[in-house]
Chain A
Amino acid sequence: MKFAFRINFQVNILSVLMFLCSQSSQVCAQSVSIIQWTEAESYWKNQHPDTFLVVNFWASWCKPCVTELPCFEELHNTTFSKPVKVLLVNLDYVEDLNNRVIPILKKRNIQSEVWLLNETNPNQWIDKVDKNWSGAIPATLFVNGRGNYLAFKENSFSCPELLDLVRNLSK
């Protein structure tokens, strides 16, 4: 049952990607998937048991978010005791993907996986990330391989702060 759902979900993402690739080669190169909340939540709750997941919520219009993107990118170049996966969840409007989001990713050469969360009513999902999240970004969720939410931070990070936190949480 779970397996079937996973396949279904992957096909969904894949079809979105294929559609985007046919629309614009830029999107294809940066692999921005357009997803909905239920898909996103089930993805990070059904992680590979060995993976530590860092989910950063950001938007092109959020200056501190864009400033700290390279810090999340740096996590790729660091060795931790467990494989660390970075997921950049973009909260721009879907119509701004090509003109606002993609240029930022290209300019900063972002290699992390990027999803655009295409939901109109944040009141339905903000509390599911964390009860104390007011909705301000940047905000980051840290999930272990069992799908447990280990920490949630509604603030920006310096690169060393982020590295230290991930090092401690992923132990």
Chain B
Amino acid sequence: MKKSALLFTFIISALLNSMFAQETTLTSGYKPGDLAESFNLMNVDGKMVSPENYPEAKGFVVVFTCNHCPFSIAYEDRIIALDKEWSTKGYPVLALNPNDPTIQPEDSYENMKKRARSKKFTFPYLLDENGKVASRFGATKTPHVYVLTKTNDGLQVAYIGAIDDNSRNAGDVKTKYLENALQQLTAGQSVQVPVTKAIGCSIKRPQ
């Protein structure tokens, strides 16, 4: 009796284990073509910002970024330049910081305000508390970019990945993945390379 109970517990736990393992190995989050749920997050000026606040926009460049990550810092000027160019063409940048400041103190809301001020961010820099939006999107690192386009059904994911092919030096960039995607979208074409990869700092989620 005792033995069979033990065996039963073992089988159940093995089953649960395998289910859990499967869930964690599956790549979660959005894929190109998926509809993204909207969000409403606190900006560095204390006001709430949501994609719904932009009735004129054709879509958005959602950038998961943060204060501390050297890759995020390396891309700050490029993100500002992208926003200046593409917000006038209907694709403004929305930057979101998903990091838990108890793990990475440099990524606190106060430091976000300082960073936005000192770098003169032209776009909202939003606090993604507990990385909830990042988890929903499937963002794993900073910077991690998602291009959303407005469709009749809602915000559709058109591009996921890197800004370009050289984080180290903007002058050495050969392929501007994100801008290529935006150009194709605004020309009414489908995005030729909808997913790219880059090295980045892992998003620090609450433990």
Contact = CB atoms under 8 A, between A and B. Distances in A.
Interface of A: 59, 61-64, 91, 93, 120-123, 126-127, 132-138, 154
Given A126-B199, A135-B141, 9 more contacts: A121-B166, A123-B177, A123-B196, A134-B144, A135-B162, A136-B202, A137-B199, A137-B200, A154-B140
A136 B203 contact: yes
19 contacts: A62-B201, A64-B202, A120-B168, A120-B169, A120-B172, A121-B174, A121-B175, A122-B162, A122-B199, A123-B162, A127-B197, A132-B25, A134-B197, A135-B198, A135-B200, A136-B200, A136-B201, A137-B201, A137-B202
Nearest to B103: A63
Interface residues of B, number: 27
Given A63-B104, A132-B27, A122 B198 contact: yes
Contact of B197 (A64, A93, A126, A137): A126
Contacts of B199: 59, 91, 122, 126, 135-137
Interface of B: 25, 27, 69-70, 104, 140-141, 144, 161-162, 165-169, 172, 174-175, 177, 196-203
A137 B200 CA distance: 7
Contacts of B70: 61
Contacts of A59: 199
Contact of A120 (B69, B141, B165, B196): B165
Nearest to A60: B70
Contacts of B69: 61
Contacts of A93: 168
Contacts of A120: 165-169, 172
